[in-house]
Copies of this chain bind each other. A is one copy, B any other.
């Protein structure tokens, strides 16, 4: 039997870690800050990649690969960028190790680099250096590239998936001839992220724009999607940046426009990371373990045969094999768990902790009666259904579960989104139960900083499409044009 999962109500952080470990998603590594993504976690990431990659390609993007290392001087070219990343860089200074006179392995001083290399925290600088060589004319535009890679931001307070020094992600980098086109791209990619979050991850998100203080280092505007976790904290689930001409100017990337004038190129960048796996866990899982949306679950249905005697075993497993083949043919990612030496209850628990959306149990009586028992992971309900037409039943149930997870998460978010007009009420509710708060903001960085300082809550975003609503900022007493979304965040 796997170790028990700590209940959320008792210790939310421990619950999260118990699920990551219990479902074998990830493990700590000997390098502090780095994580090991185990096969169950990586299979989830592969499914997420496949869905996103198809959406990127359907909108004209192609994948490429730029170097892991960035010359230190590149970081310094864009003022906000260096300010944002210099303090969390892994710096390569030598290219060789050698044994010293005591036989200890040390850096070989003769291999000291002329210029340090930084392990990429993000790739704007090296990509814009390259684009400046590739782009001469409007005919070379747009460039719509993406890469799937690893990045490093120095970080010692590790939380598996949520906060790690190295993480996996994709970073899109596009170059455009006009401001309008670049903004359109920024918004298009935000919408792709929102669609992915809602349709695939079953996580409802708020689309919005970051305040100046929360912007990406080097962006003119950062768009984001924000999701609410079960502990009432927000998690930024994807960002899409309109970079203006900042990187084009820093790397002198000009093009001849249709009027034969030289102009700086307009840029966007956008990314989501393995952090999303943390969001997936925290939005859907329960005290029994991981809960996965069927569209992303590596295994959508597991079949557990139940039997006592060898004769029963033979009959039941034979039928289970046939059912597995039918389901597979119908496009269901199904696994037959006919491992010997494990009791059914042990297997049930394992698949429950691992978040398999549907568990099908079949015993001798089911074989006789032409039935099978289906247990839903999300609401733990059980039904006995006919084996006839099972593939269709399973597919329908997977869709039902997918929708139910989204609906539940949406209901939770709605129940935990509060309009507040008093700073005291805000602070009280924030401490008592967290959640999203729609509160007026006067638009000043001072107010924003004060709230952060006093409550640890930040403005998650200025929601897109929010109607103007004149009001008063309850923190400063100054007039406000609209409500913004506050929350404490991961």
Q: Which residues of A contact B (CB under 8 A)?
A: 27, 29-31, 34-39, 42-43, 45-46, 62-76, 82, 86-98, 105, 107, 111, 116-119, 126, 129-130, 133, 145, 149-150, 152, 154, 166, 168
Contact = CB atoms under 8 A, between A and B. Distances in A.
Contacts of A96: 86-89, 91, 154
Contacts of A150: 68, 149-150
B93 A91 contact: yes
A111 B75 CA distance: 18
A352 to B, nearest CB: 21
Given A91-B92, A93-B93, A98 B74 contact: no
B86 A98 contact: yes
A54 to B, nearest CB: 12
A107 B116 contact: yes
Nearest to A89: B97
Nearest to A127: B36
B36 A64 contact: yes
Nearest to A103: B76
Interface centre among A36, A107, A133, A145, by most chain B C-beta atoms within 10 angstroms, is A36
A63 B75 contact: no
Nearest to A151: B68
Contacts of A66: 29, 36
A94 B92 CA distance: 7
A45 B62 CA distance: 12
Given A73-B105, A87-B97, A88-B96, 19 more contacts: A29-B130, A30-B71, A31-B67, A31-B69, A31-B126, A34-B67, A34-B69, A36-B65, A37-B65, A68-B152, A69-B90, A75-B97, A82-B105, A89-B95, A89-B96, A90-B95, A91-B92, A93-B94, A97-B118
B118 A119 contact: no
Contacts of A93: 91-94, 107
Contacts of A94: 89-91, 93
A97 B83 CA distance: 10
Nearest to A152: B68
Contacts of A30: 71, 74, 126, 129-130
Contact of A92 (B29, B90, B126): B90
Nearest to A94: B91
Contact of A65 (B42, B92, B98, B105): B42
A92 B34 CA distance: 14
A66 B86 CA distance: 25
Contacts of A111: 91
Nearest to A156: B95
Contacts of A116: 97, 107
15 contacts: A27-B130, A30-B74, A30-B126, A30-B129, A36-B64, A36-B66, A36-B67, A38-B64, A42-B62, A88-B96, A90-B117, A91-B93, A92-B119, A96-B154, A97-B116
A71 B154 contact: no
Nearest to A29: B67
A37 B62 CA distance: 12
B166 A69 contact: yes
Contact of A76 (B90, B105, B118): B105
Contacts of A89: 94-97
Nearest to A93: B93
A105 B86 contact: yes
A91 B95 contact: yes
Interface centre among A34, A45, A68, A98, by most chain B C-beta atoms within 10 angstroms, is A68
Contacts of A126: 29-31
